[in-house]
Homo-oligomer: A and B are copies of this chain.
Amino acid sequence: MTKPLYGAVEAGGTKFVCAAGYAPMEVPEEARAVIATQAPEPTLEGVVGFFEGITRKYGALAGIGIAAFGPVDIDTQSRTWGRILATPKRGWSSVSLVTPLERFGCPIAIDTDVSAAALAEARLGAGAGLGSLAYVTVGTGIGGGVVVADRTLKGLLHPEMGHIRVQRDPRDGGFAGVCPFHGDCLEGLASGPAVMARWHTRVEDLPEPHPAREILGGYLGQLAATLALMVSCERIVFGGGVVTGGRLLPDIRRSASQWLGGYLPIEARAGGFDRYIVPPGLGDLAGVTGALLLAMQAARTGR
């Protein structure tokens, strides 16, 4: 009996990361590829081409997992399951990520990139051993996923926590925000494009000290506090270029602590804010690792 081989796709707004492996941490170097996100057709042709090469070399896939940018239909009961929903990303609205991969004849699972990353962090990364974890990434957009008892949280759709409202920092009062839907929701205020619109530079190139770090950390800390209050997760992972590049974790922790005002037992139960709000344990690999876990799940459940 051959060892089952799994396929993983992290479908992002700027790149698609493809991989194949026998286990989450067992991906041969040559079984990875990065495809720049272009129009849907050439991008998905690239993905199919990658897996055709893989199956020629290693044999059939036992399952494929897709970790997709949102909004995406992840409701397996829905007629539009596997399709990208209305998105400002040109050409991608209602494109199916699943259909082109059906030719490989194996079960396919799809979830959001951030939920998949949350799953990987919960099982193998910063949340190993805990019962629940939230994962937030701050880059071109702000997204988050939640894992409770080894399942990603979903329902009407999937979490879209980047779009919650936050209380404005008085130093930031003049900025209207960049979210096309909401203006000054969290994503409109604290994403990479919001940094660029306001300070005309990337966060990592801001001089030190600069009030931007306190302002951004303040907004993101409100999300952390809201997660703790709404979802009661045991740990929160903050990743993405804006958090990492801006070295925002200390400001996020300070803000979350301030907003919670001692109300939750973060010290007693989580060992303090330094252990409650943490960087990713799997670095940039969380998304594709999560996709591989989804593939294994698909193979197990047959869908």
Contacts and interface: CB of A to CB of B under 8 A. Distances in A.
B149 A229 contact: no
Interface stretch (A42-50, A150-158, A277-285, A295-303): A150-158
A158 B166 CA distance: 22
A153 B148 contact: yes
A157 B265 contact: yes
Report copies per complex: 2
A270 to B, nearest CB: 6
A269 B156 contact: yes
Interface in A236-288: 259-266, 269-270
Nearest to A159: B232
A131 interface: yes
Contact of A233 (B156, B163, B165): B156
Contacts of A261: 181-182
A24 to B, nearest CB: 23
A146 B156 CA distance: 13
Interface in A66-85: 85
Interface of A: 85, 131-132, 144, 146, 148-149, 151, 153-161, 163-167, 181-182, 222, 225-234, 259-266, 269-270
Given A156-B264, A161-B229, A165-B166, 7 more contacts: A153-B231, A154-B232, A155-B231, A157-B264, A163-B260, A181-B262, A181-B263
